[in-house]
Amino acid sequence: MKRDPFTLKVALSQSGGANGELYLDDGESYDHREGNFIWRDFVAESAKKTVKISSKDLASKNADRAVDGVELATYNGGNPFANALNGVRVERIIVLGLKNKPSKVTLGTTDLEFIFEDGVAAVGKKEGVASKLTVKNPGAFIASDWTVVLEL
């Protein structure tokens, strides 16, 4: 399953944000002690008429605590493990709790296909099923930095 595509599920808070982390290593050796792993930060941030969902490398910014609280001397985002997973993609992004249907969803200059199911927004105290946006095949890879922009 190491090379299976990922689904990123984003449940927005009342302020319209969300964050989470992903850590991957080979699960078989102690190569993570040499910096052979992927550690990503996923963040959703709402502005006036947009929601930005991004993936950024966490290991290079946190080399002092990257391996079981032990400092790495150096960290290379292009380590052998990360390189082996370069082609592993995010096959869909699901966003729960949007107020409105986006007019456009993009990754860089590429317009993305999406489906919006109306429902309850994360803002306020309402009962019911959350709205659901599904972005299909965003062209994002699990070991790369990227930002998907939802224009509301």
pLDDT digits (tens, 9 = 90+) for 36-55: 999 999 999 999 899 999 99
pTM of the model: 0.92
Domains detected in the chain: 6-151 (2.60.40.1180)
pLDDT digits (tens, 9 = 90+) for 93-121: 999 999 999 999 999 999 999 999 999 99
**Closest-CA residue to 58 (of 69, 66, 49):** 66
Return the pLDDT at 97. Answer: 95
Confidence of residue 63 (pLDDT cuts 50, 70, 90): confident
CB 96 within 8 Å of CB 10: yes
Return the pLDDT at 83. Answer: 94
Cα→Cα distances 97→15, 19, 69, 119, 148, Å: 11, 14, 34, 8, 17
Return the pLDDT at 61. Answer: 85
